[in-house]
Chain A
Amino acid sequence: MSAPRVLVVDDAELTRTTLIAVLARSGFDVRAASSVADTQGVMQSWMPDCLVLDRRLADGDGVELARELRAQPSFAALRIVLMSGDPLSDEAAAAADRVLLKPAGARAVIDAVTAALAN
Protein backbone atom coordinates (compact mmCIF):
# COMPACT_ATOMS: atom_id res chain seq x y z
CA MET A 1 0.00 0.00 0.00
CA SER A 2 1.42 3.39 -0.99
CA ALA A 3 2.00 6.15 1.52
CA PRO A 4 -0.86 8.65 1.97
CA ARG A 5 -0.23 11.84 0.03
CA VAL A 6 -0.21 15.12 1.91
CA LEU A 7 0.02 18.55 0.29
CA VAL A 8 1.24 21.29 2.63
CA VAL A 9 -0.04 24.75 1.63
CA ASP A 10 1.56 27.65 3.48
CA ASP A 11 3.25 30.87 2.35
CA ALA A 12 5.78 30.67 5.19
CA GLU A 13 8.86 28.85 3.92
CA LEU A 14 9.93 27.73 7.39
CA THR A 15 6.52 26.15 8.04
CA ARG A 16 6.54 24.38 4.67
CA THR A 17 10.04 23.02 5.09
CA THR A 18 9.39 21.84 8.62
CA LEU A 19 6.07 20.20 7.82
CA ILE A 20 7.55 18.42 4.79
CA ALA A 21 10.27 16.97 7.04
CA VAL A 22 8.08 15.93 9.97
CA LEU A 23 5.29 14.46 7.82
CA ALA A 24 7.74 12.60 5.57
CA ARG A 25 9.43 11.23 8.70
CA SER A 26 6.01 9.94 9.78
CA GLY A 27 5.61 8.00 6.55
CA PHE A 28 3.58 10.38 4.40
CA ASP A 29 4.31 11.23 0.78
CA VAL A 30 4.58 15.01 1.05
CA ARG A 31 4.65 17.93 -1.36
CA ALA A 32 4.22 21.63 -0.74
CA ALA A 33 2.64 24.70 -2.30
CA SER A 34 2.97 28.34 -1.31
CA SER A 35 -0.26 29.84 -2.66
CA VAL A 36 -3.73 29.09 -3.95
CA ALA A 37 -2.49 29.22 -7.55
CA ASP A 38 0.45 26.98 -6.70
CA THR A 39 -1.92 24.50 -5.02
CA GLN A 40 -4.17 24.33 -8.06
CA GLY A 41 -1.12 23.78 -10.25
CA VAL A 42 0.22 20.92 -8.12
CA MET A 43 -3.19 19.25 -7.89
CA GLN A 44 -3.53 19.09 -11.66
CA SER A 45 -0.84 16.43 -11.79
CA TRP A 46 -0.62 15.11 -8.22
CA MET A 47 -3.77 14.35 -6.24
CA PRO A 48 -3.22 14.46 -2.48
CA ASP A 49 -5.24 12.50 0.07
CA CYS A 50 -4.99 15.37 2.55
CA LEU A 51 -4.31 19.09 2.46
CA VAL A 52 -2.61 20.84 5.38
CA LEU A 53 -3.86 24.30 4.53
CA ASP A 54 -2.96 27.65 6.04
CA ARG A 55 -5.93 29.96 6.58
CA ARG A 56 -4.25 33.04 5.14
CA LEU A 57 -2.35 32.90 1.88
CA ALA A 58 -0.85 35.70 -0.18
CA ASP A 59 -3.32 35.22 -3.02
CA GLY A 60 -6.40 34.00 -1.19
CA ASP A 61 -8.21 32.58 1.80
CA GLY A 62 -7.63 28.97 2.87
CA VAL A 63 -11.25 28.61 4.01
CA GLU A 64 -12.51 29.73 0.60
CA LEU A 65 -10.14 27.32 -1.13
CA ALA A 66 -11.34 24.48 1.12
CA ARG A 67 -14.97 25.31 0.31
CA GLU A 68 -14.26 25.42 -3.42
CA LEU A 69 -12.57 22.03 -3.30
CA ARG A 70 -15.34 20.56 -1.14
CA ALA A 71 -17.91 21.69 -3.71
CA GLN A 72 -16.28 19.60 -6.45
CA PRO A 73 -17.31 15.91 -6.60
CA SER A 74 -13.83 14.98 -7.86
CA PHE A 75 -12.40 16.05 -4.47
CA ALA A 76 -14.99 14.27 -2.33
CA ALA A 77 -12.35 12.01 -0.77
CA LEU A 78 -9.91 14.83 -0.06
CA ARG A 79 -9.31 15.48 3.64
CA ILE A 80 -8.44 18.97 4.82
CA VAL A 81 -6.58 20.11 7.93
CA LEU A 82 -6.89 23.87 8.28
CA MET A 83 -4.27 25.83 10.23
CA SER A 84 -5.27 29.25 11.48
CA GLY A 85 -3.68 31.97 13.57
CA ASP A 86 -7.09 33.02 14.87
CA PRO A 87 -10.03 30.96 16.12
CA LEU A 88 -12.47 30.09 13.33
CA SER A 89 -16.23 30.44 13.37
CA ASP A 90 -18.18 27.18 13.29
CA GLU A 91 -19.16 27.97 9.70
CA ALA A 92 -15.53 28.42 8.62
CA ALA A 93 -14.36 25.39 10.58
CA ALA A 94 -16.96 23.27 8.77
CA ALA A 95 -14.89 23.64 5.58
CA ALA A 96 -12.24 21.37 7.09
CA ASP A 97 -12.01 17.93 8.69
CA ARG A 98 -9.69 19.23 11.39
CA VAL A 99 -8.70 22.73 12.53
CA LEU A 100 -5.42 23.54 14.24
CA LEU A 101 -4.84 26.85 15.99
CA LYS A 102 -1.35 28.28 15.54
CA PRO A 103 1.13 27.90 17.09
CA ALA A 104 0.74 24.14 16.82
CA GLY A 105 3.52 21.64 17.44
CA ALA A 106 4.68 18.96 15.01
CA ARG A 107 2.94 16.17 16.92
CA ALA A 108 -0.40 18.01 16.77
CA VAL A 109 -0.11 18.32 12.99
CA ILE A 110 0.77 14.65 12.53
CA ASP A 111 -2.13 13.62 14.80
CA ALA A 112 -4.56 15.90 12.91
CA VAL A 113 -3.52 14.53 9.51
CA THR A 114 -3.73 10.95 10.77
CA ALA A 115 -7.18 11.55 12.27
CA ALA A 116 -8.45 13.32 9.14
CA LEU A 117 -7.30 10.45 6.93
CA ALA A 118 -8.92 7.92 9.27
CA ASN A 119 -12.34 9.55 8.81
Chain B
Amino acid sequence: MTDVEAFAEFAHDLRGAMGSLRLVMSSLVDEDDAEQRRVFLTMAEDEVQRVAVTATALPALGAAASDQSTPVAVDLSAALADAAAGALRYGVRATVQSGEPTQVLSRPDVLALVLPAVFQLAAGTSGATVVVTETINHSVAITCRTGALWPQARHLFARLVLAANGTAADSDELRFLLPEAP
Protein backbone atom coordinates (compact mmCIF):
# COMPACT_ATOMS: atom_id res chain seq x y z
CA MET B 1 0.00 0.00 0.00
CA THR B 2 1.41 3.42 -0.94
CA ASP B 3 1.43 6.34 1.48
CA VAL B 4 -1.26 8.06 -0.60
CA GLU B 5 -3.45 4.96 -0.40
CA ALA B 6 -2.86 4.72 3.34
CA PHE B 7 -3.93 8.32 3.90
CA ALA B 8 -6.93 7.82 1.63
CA GLU B 9 -7.87 4.89 3.84
CA PHE B 10 -7.62 7.09 6.91
CA ALA B 11 -9.85 9.67 5.27
CA HIS B 12 -12.30 6.86 4.54
CA ASP B 13 -12.25 5.70 8.18
CA LEU B 14 -12.82 9.24 9.43
CA ARG B 15 -15.71 9.72 7.00
CA GLY B 16 -17.18 6.43 8.25
CA ALA B 17 -16.97 7.64 11.83
CA MET B 18 -18.57 10.95 10.87
CA GLY B 19 -21.29 8.95 9.14
CA SER B 20 -22.01 7.03 12.35
CA LEU B 21 -22.08 10.21 14.38
CA ARG B 22 -24.38 11.99 11.94
CA LEU B 23 -26.76 9.02 12.04
CA VAL B 24 -26.83 9.16 15.83
CA MET B 25 -27.41 12.91 15.93
CA SER B 26 -30.22 12.79 13.39
CA SER B 27 -31.87 9.83 15.11
CA LEU B 28 -31.84 11.51 18.52
CA VAL B 29 -34.26 14.16 17.24
CA ASP B 30 -37.04 11.57 17.05
CA GLU B 31 -35.95 9.38 19.97
CA ASP B 32 -38.46 9.56 22.84
CA ASP B 33 -36.96 6.75 24.94
CA ALA B 34 -34.59 8.29 27.49
CA GLU B 35 -32.68 5.02 27.99
CA GLN B 36 -32.16 4.62 24.24
CA ARG B 37 -30.93 8.23 24.04
CA ARG B 38 -28.43 7.49 26.83
CA VAL B 39 -27.18 4.37 25.01
CA PHE B 40 -26.74 6.32 21.76
CA LEU B 41 -24.90 9.14 23.47
CA THR B 42 -22.52 6.75 25.25
CA MET B 43 -21.75 5.00 21.97
CA ALA B 44 -21.25 8.36 20.27
CA GLU B 45 -18.73 9.34 22.94
CA ASP B 46 -16.81 6.11 22.27
CA GLU B 47 -16.84 6.88 18.55
CA VAL B 48 -15.43 10.35 19.20
CA GLN B 49 -12.66 8.68 21.21
CA ARG B 50 -11.84 6.44 18.27
CA VAL B 51 -11.69 9.46 15.95
CA ALA B 52 -9.35 11.17 18.41
CA VAL B 53 -7.01 8.16 18.41
CA THR B 54 -7.01 8.04 14.62
CA ALA B 55 -6.20 11.76 14.50
CA THR B 56 -3.27 11.16 16.88
CA ALA B 57 -1.93 8.46 14.57
CA LEU B 58 -1.91 10.66 11.48
CA PRO B 59 1.19 12.76 12.35
CA ALA B 60 3.11 9.53 13.04
CA LEU B 61 2.24 8.17 9.63
CA GLY B 62 3.01 11.51 8.00
CA ALA B 63 6.42 11.57 9.67
CA ALA B 64 7.12 8.02 8.54
CA ALA B 65 6.21 8.93 4.97
CA SER B 66 8.51 11.96 4.84
CA ASP B 67 11.40 10.73 7.02
CA GLN B 68 14.00 9.19 4.71
CA SER B 69 16.58 8.59 7.46
CA THR B 70 18.16 5.22 8.12
CA PRO B 71 17.19 3.44 11.35
CA VAL B 72 19.69 4.02 14.16
CA ALA B 73 20.17 2.68 17.68
CA VAL B 74 17.52 4.16 19.98
CA ASP B 75 17.40 3.86 23.78
CA LEU B 76 14.03 2.15 24.09
CA SER B 77 13.59 2.78 27.82
CA ALA B 78 14.05 6.51 27.31
CA ALA B 79 11.80 6.48 24.25
CA LEU B 80 9.06 4.65 26.18
CA ALA B 81 9.33 7.08 29.10
CA ASP B 82 9.09 10.07 26.75
CA ALA B 83 6.15 8.45 24.96
CA ALA B 84 4.34 7.83 28.26
CA ALA B 85 4.75 11.51 29.08
CA GLY B 86 3.48 12.41 25.61
CA ALA B 87 0.47 10.12 25.95
CA LEU B 88 -0.38 11.70 29.29
CA ARG B 89 -0.90 15.01 27.49
CA TYR B 90 -3.75 13.26 25.65
CA GLY B 91 -5.15 11.97 28.95
CA VAL B 92 -3.71 8.45 28.55
CA ARG B 93 -1.82 6.91 31.47
CA ALA B 94 0.75 4.43 30.18
CA THR B 95 2.61 2.49 32.87
CA VAL B 96 5.86 1.18 31.43
CA GLN B 97 7.33 -2.02 32.87
CA SER B 98 10.57 -2.47 30.98
CA GLY B 99 13.43 -4.79 31.77
CA GLU B 100 17.06 -4.01 31.13
CA PRO B 101 17.87 -0.88 29.12
CA THR B 102 17.72 -1.90 25.49
CA GLN B 103 18.82 -0.33 22.24
CA VAL B 104 16.55 -0.93 19.26
CA LEU B 105 16.88 -0.04 15.60
CA SER B 106 14.30 2.53 14.57
CA ARG B 107 13.90 6.08 13.32
CA PRO B 108 13.79 8.14 16.54
CA ASP B 109 11.61 10.99 15.24
CA VAL B 110 9.05 8.55 13.92
CA LEU B 111 9.19 6.29 16.98
CA ALA B 112 8.57 9.34 19.19
CA LEU B 113 5.23 9.86 17.41
CA VAL B 114 4.31 6.20 16.95
CA LEU B 115 4.64 5.10 20.60
CA PRO B 116 2.18 7.64 22.12
CA ALA B 117 -0.29 6.82 19.33
CA VAL B 118 0.02 3.09 20.09
CA PHE B 119 -0.45 3.76 23.82
CA GLN B 120 -3.57 5.80 23.09
CA LEU B 121 -4.86 3.07 20.80
CA ALA B 122 -4.32 0.42 23.48
CA ALA B 123 -5.86 2.52 26.25
CA GLY B 124 -9.08 3.11 24.30
CA THR B 125 -11.87 4.49 26.39
CA SER B 126 -10.33 3.24 29.66
CA GLY B 127 -7.58 5.87 29.42
CA ALA B 128 -4.84 3.55 30.70
CA THR B 129 -2.54 0.82 29.49
CA VAL B 130 0.37 -1.19 30.86
CA VAL B 131 3.38 -1.49 28.56
CA VAL B 132 5.74 -4.45 29.00
CA THR B 133 9.00 -5.07 27.14
CA GLU B 134 11.02 -8.24 26.83
CA THR B 135 13.94 -9.29 24.68
CA ILE B 136 13.32 -12.30 22.47
CA ASN B 137 16.19 -13.57 20.35
CA HIS B 138 17.37 -10.45 18.53
CA SER B 139 14.17 -8.47 18.89
CA VAL B 140 12.48 -6.49 21.62
CA ALA B 141 8.79 -7.24 22.10
CA ILE B 142 6.64 -4.33 23.27
CA THR B 143 3.24 -5.39 24.57
CA CYS B 144 0.44 -2.97 25.42
CA ARG B 145 -2.33 -4.48 27.51
CA THR B 146 -5.65 -3.43 26.10
CA GLY B 147 -9.35 -3.85 26.68
CA ALA B 148 -11.82 -4.10 23.83
CA LEU B 149 -10.57 -2.90 20.45
CA TRP B 150 -12.80 -1.64 17.67
CA PRO B 151 -12.69 -3.55 14.34
CA GLN B 152 -10.30 -1.17 12.53
CA ALA B 153 -7.94 -0.79 15.51
CA ARG B 154 -5.65 -3.66 14.58
CA HIS B 155 -5.25 -2.33 11.07
CA LEU B 156 -4.30 1.08 12.43
CA PHE B 157 -1.90 -0.58 14.85
CA ALA B 158 -0.22 -2.51 12.03
CA ARG B 159 0.27 0.72 10.04
CA LEU B 160 1.82 2.45 13.05
CA VAL B 161 4.18 -0.43 13.81
CA LEU B 162 5.30 -0.60 10.20
CA ALA B 163 6.03 3.13 10.31
CA ALA B 164 8.41 2.52 13.22
CA ASN B 165 10.21 -0.25 11.31
CA GLY B 166 8.63 -2.86 13.57
CA THR B 167 6.62 -6.03 13.08
CA ALA B 168 3.14 -6.50 14.51
CA ALA B 169 2.84 -9.81 16.33
CA ASP B 170 -0.21 -12.03 16.17
CA SER B 171 -1.55 -11.55 19.67
CA ASP B 172 -4.71 -10.79 21.61
CA GLU B 173 -2.86 -7.78 22.98
CA LEU B 174 -1.22 -5.02 20.98
CA ARG B 175 2.25 -6.49 20.66
CA PHE B 176 5.03 -5.62 18.26
CA LEU B 177 8.68 -6.35 17.71
CA LEU B 178 11.53 -3.95 17.07
CA PRO B 179 14.94 -5.25 16.01
CA GLU B 180 17.56 -5.05 18.73
CA ALA B 181 20.49 -2.79 17.85
CA PRO B 182 23.76 -4.69 17.42
Contacts and interface: CB of A to CB of B under 8 A. Distances in A.
B12 A56 contact: yes
Contacts of A83: 19
Interface residues of B, number: 26
Interface stretch (B23-31, B73-81, B97-105, B156-164): B23-31
A58 B23 contact: no
B3 interface: no
B26 A15 contact: no
Interface string B36-56: 100110011011000000000
B43 A14 contact: yes
A106 B23 contact: yes
Contacts, number: 75
SS class, residues of chain B in contact with chain A: helix
Contacts of A80: none
Contacts of A25: 30-31
Contacts of B19: 12, 15, 83, 85, 102-104
A18 interface: yes
B20 interface: yes
A103 B12 contact: no
Given A21-B36, A106-B27, A58 B151 contact: yes
Interface string B1-26: 00000000000100111111111111
Interface in A8-25: 11-15, 17-19, 21-22, 25
A15 B25 CA distance: 11
Q: How large is the interface on A (under 10, 10 to 19, 20 to 34, 35 or more residues)?
A: 20 to 34
Contact of A105 (B12, B23, B47, B150): B23
Given A21-B31, A58-B151, A105 B46 contact: no
Nearest to A14: B20
Nearest to A107: B26
Contact of A14 (B15, B31, B44): B44
B12 A86 contact: yes
Closest 5 A-B residue pairs measured CB to CB? Answer: A102-B19, A105-B26, A103-B22, A103-B19, A85-B15
Interface of B: 12, 15-27, 30-31, 36, 39-40, 43-44, 46-47, 150-152
